[in-house]
Amino acid sequence: MDVKQTLKSCLVFAGLSDQELDKIAPLCHVEEYQADTALLREGERARRLYIVMEGEVAVGKFVDVASDEPLAIEADISHPGTLVGWSALVDPEILTASAKCVTDSRLLVVEAAALRRALQSDPRIGFEVVGRLNHLLSHMIRRMGRRRGVAAEVMKAADE
């Protein structure tokens, strides 16, 4: 899959025309990562966005415990077409989750500062991308709420 096809496969960029994607594609490059590579760390400045081309990336809250492996809290597995690192497009550009490759992965990398400039310079592209990003975030928030509801039910049942 090439850069434009990967952008089209991602919800946030899927509504852009080929001409609009031609403006975004030069801001992207492909990188390959080995399994267990940390991509993002919660709390750090968000400088890059990633779109999964091949492989799987775990995204979530990871808590260090006494074992060798951090405990994952609310982790999701990102598959091809998934945007990772959306915090780079939202002020204050601080990562709200961590991410690491679960398998060897091929990712489309977008430098956030360049993308933000492109979105500001073309209001139509900016409006489309931000609208789709809002849709994505809304979906994530609803999904987290459902998970917390299920977790609360499980905890309540365990106490009985």
More reliable by pLDDT, 159 or 19: 19
pLDDT of residue 125: 95
pLDDT band at 45 (very low <50, low <70, confident <90, very high): very high
CATH of 3-159, one of 3.30.70.260, 2.40.340.10, 1.10.4100.10, 2.60.120.10: 2.60.120.10
Residue 26 has pLDDT above 60, yes or no: yes
pLDDT of residue 139: 78
Per residue in 59-97, pLDDT tens?
Answer: 987 665 555 665 555 568 889 999 999 999 999 999 989
Per residue in 106-138, pLDDT tens?
Answer: 999 999 999 999 999 999 999 999 999 988 888
Nearest to 63, CA basis, from 110, 112, 97: 97
Give the CA distances from residue 13 to residues 25, 37, 111, 145, in Å, rounded to whole numbers and listed in that order.
11, 26, 15, 26
Residue extents of the structural domains in the chain: 3-159
Residue 158 has pLDDT above 50, yes or no: no
- Across the chain, the runs of DSSP E, i.e. the strands, are 28-33, 38-40, 48-54, 57-63, 71-78, 83-84, 98-101, 105-111
More reliable by pLDDT, 3 or 135: 3
